[in-house]
């Protein structure tokens, strides 16, 4: 799966978690760009992404994510293994 495919799927998950069908994320999106992105929604988003891609992030990985792109790149790398 390539970066754009993962980003598209992550965008769908964001729309569901944040209950905003118009939400558009990109590789540079951060919590500052999404009004509803609080700690609870962050946790729900991580859980839903882990379920969707059938993987488990390490805490160290989650804490290192600076933007959506970091998360997408981690997912792409994990799926390639």
Enumerate domains of the chain plus CATH numbers.
3-80 (1.10.1200.10)
Per-residue pLDDT of the chain (81 residues), as tens digits, is 999 999 999 999 999 999 999 999 999 999 999 999 999 999 999 999 999 999 999 999 999 999 999 999 999 999 987
Q: Is the pTM of this model over 0.75?
A: yes
pLDDT of residue 81: 72
Cβ-contact 12, 25 below 8 angstroms: no
pLDDT of residue 14: 97
Cβ-contact 68, 7 below 8 angstroms: yes
Please enumerate in sequence order all residues whose Cβ is within 8 A of that of 1, keeping only pairs 6 or more positions apart, or say none: 76, 79
């Amino acid at each position: 799966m390539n970066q754009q495919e993962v980003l598209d799927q992550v965008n769908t998950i964001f729309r569901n978690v944040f209950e905003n069908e118009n939400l558009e994320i990109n590789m540079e999106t951060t919590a500052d760009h999404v009004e509803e992105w609080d700690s609870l929604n962050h946790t729900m988003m991580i859980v839903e992404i882990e379920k969707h891609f059938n993987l488990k992030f390490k805490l160290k990985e989650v804490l290192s994510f600076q933007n959506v792109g970091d998360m997408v790149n981690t997912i792409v790398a994990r799926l390639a293994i």
